[in-house]
Amino acid sequence: MMSAHARTPAGKPRARAIGLVVGGRPGPLNAITDVPGVAVGYTTLIEGQGPLVPGRGPVRTGVTAILPRAVEDLQTPVFAGYHSFNGNGELTGVHYIAEAGKISLPVTITNTNSCGVARDATIRWATTRFAGAFDEDFALPVAAETYDGFLNDINGFHVTDAHVFAAIESASAGPVEEGSVGGGTGMKCFGFKAGSGTASRIVPYAGRDYTLGAFVQANFGAREDLTVLGQRIGAAFDAWQMRRGTPDRSLSSIIAVIATDAPFLPHQLRRLAQRATVGVARMGGIGRHGSGDIFLAFSTANREISGRSTPALLGSAWVPDEDIDPFFAAAAEGVEEAILNAMIANADMEGRDGNFVPAIPHDRLREVLGLSA
């Protein structure tokens, strides 16, 4: 299914369409939704132009929902782990992940000032969808954020409960749109337009193929650090940027979500989340002080991980630690390619006060990398 590898559902080119090939074997969609049961949904908010009027716009934001299991099965927890490469950001629920090693319900990603709205709205959605299930229980869903205030009226609080509900309800297990969509709408990388991106890898182990998928909301990096396929190339765009972009030194953050159907325990998923750092570093990210680089990993493999009404011992399968390296490599490759896709499947965007972020020019990028025909 090479068309899915090369183009998003809206027809935007992905990294492979312009000759940027990261190592490893992608899944059929080269997306986090290659992991069975995982779905992604968006609400994208783009409205207005001109000077900033807090509460009115311009609006360049949204919310992304990632469902670890099918909707009817979302109350079944998944083992999970997280890693904070640089903690100038937010990912809710991490204390419970550290304590119990599991999550349930949709994972949401949005802008910094709407993170609490996304978290609370997820609980409201769940109490309606699973009426009665939380009468004597609690929910600690994961919500994450990156800053979009360079383009967006972030203090206008434009993301509402209804937008979160819509992102969850629209979640699909098929091909995933990328670029300036969902929570990634107002984001940028290395001075270029970025946002939502995804990729996947197939990992053979013990006689079967497992899938690992990565999703990023990419909003990090200084221009001089930009590295693509091992080549540090940011300086090659300096003169071009002076003509096209609005100066901006805010460096912001990246959220990465890694999903797999391979069986892992929570401590192994924490280690898997750490390897997102390698994908970020391959792109030139160094975890600058102002960056919230926070990564989540979960496995859909083991289902019986919560107590029953009567006491009983539970059992889980897992890949031995000694055999985990191919999955580490897949996590690094998936995050690297997901970041590239977030940048390549994108377009110029003007936001508040005329602030302008250009898309990375594909022809110039290929020329710098020596890929020109």
- List active site positions: 253, 291, 293
Token pair in block for residue 159: 């993301």
Residue 197 neighbours by CB under 8 Å, 6+ apart = 178, 179, 184, 215, 216, 218, 337, 338, 339, 340, 341, 342, 343, 345
Nearest to 279 by CA among 212, 345, 183: 212
Nearest to 179 by CA among 229, 147, 218, 212: 218
Q: Please tell me whether residue 84 adopts helix, strand or coil conformation.
A: strand
Backbone angles phi, psi at 154, to 5 degrees: -70, -30
Instruction: Name 146's bridge partners.
Output: 111
325-344 helix and 266-274 helix, angle to the nearest 10 degrees:
50
Whether residue 340 contacts residue 333, with contact meaning beta carbons closer than 8 Å, is answered with: no
Q: What is the DSSP string of 266-327?
A: HHHHHHHHHTHHHHHHHTT----TT-EEEEEEEE-S----S--SS----------GGG-HHH
Looking only at Cα atoms, what is the longest distance across the chain?
A: 68
CA distance 140 to 116: 12
| Structure-token match 């999550």, residue found | 103
161-169 helix and 115-129 helix, angle to the nearest 10 degrees:
60
Instruction: Name 45's bridge partners.
Output: 61
CA distance 58 to 262: 43
Query: Residue 138 CB: number of other CB atoms within 10 A?
Result: 7
Q: How far is CA 24 from its chain centroid?
A: 19
